[in-house]
Amino acid sequence: MTSKGLDVDVRVAAREANEDRVVVAFRAGPGFTVLFGPSGAGKTTTLMAIAGLVRPRAGSIRLDDTVFFDGDAPQREVAPHRRRISLVFQSLALFPHLSAAENVAYGIAAPRLQRREQALSWLQRFRVGHVARRRPETLSGGEGQRVALARALAAEPRALLLDEPFSALDDELRVALRDDLRSIVDERQLPVVFVTHDRAEARALGQQVVLMSEGRVKATGTVALLAALPA
């Protein structure tokens, strides 16, 4: 039996100590799932494991009917570049030696000319067509975040992972970008795992919420969970 969405059930070992740093299990269907918790809760580690950049010690990661990692057969792990899961880092991780358009084109699998056209149209879709030729270091925080989201979506991912992508924005820009992103996610029925420690953000985007603390899942449910938390 198969189901649509991302199934995560992993244990990630701490680098040095002989214990599990992160133990997390949740399901993320199409739409936004918010990983909510204080810094150090293991949210970023969870995203890295889903993307394949950190190898879990045990457990499994599946997307729809594809098994990316199975702790019982770790040698069959799917390499990160074959997962088609885009990850937007908190630092954005835009390639500093490439222009905005080249950054977006990086993940597009098409002949050169088409790649450029598609990259430009993604930049326009995120309202930053005018920065196409500029290097990341010359972009404002908001422009950089739009370019990073355009790059992540241009690669035609099967799921999207976002690590506090709006943290550096003021409220107005944040709402605008959130709306742009939501329309694309809804249109593609894309599972999105969204990490934040900002309650208003979680409430605005989250259809489903996973509460994390000290490397463990404390609760899963709807945004109503957040209201019950002490301020």
Question: What residues make contact with other proteins under the rule CB under 8 A?
Answer: 48, 51-53, 79-87, 89, 91, 93-97, 106-107, 109, 151-152, 155
Give residue 132's identity as a one-letter amino acid code: A
d(CA 187, CA 68): 25
Nearer to other proteins (CB atom), residue 165 or residue 202: 165
Nearer to other proteins (CB atom), residue 106 or residue 226: 106
Cβ 37 to other proteins, closest distance in Å? 21
Cβ 51 to other proteins, closest distance in Å? 5
Cβ 200 to other proteins, closest distance in Å? 26
CA 167 to chain centre: 14
* Strand order across the 85-88 sheet: 66-70, 58-63, 6-13, 20-28, 216-221, 208-213, 31-36, 191-196, 159-163, 85-88
Locus of tokens 């598609």: 118
Cβ 68 to other proteins, closest distance in Å? 12
Nearer to other proteins (CB atom), residue 146 or residue 209: 146
Asked if 42 and 212 count as a contact pair (C-beta separation under 8 A), the reply is yes
Nearer to other proteins (CB atom), residue 85 or residue 100: 85
Nearer to other proteins (CB atom), residue 141 or residue 216: 141
Q: At what angle do helices 141-154 and 112-125 cross, to 10 degrees?
A: 130
Residue among 57, 67, 55, 76 nearest 7 (CA): 67
Cβ 24 to other proteins, closest distance in Å? 19
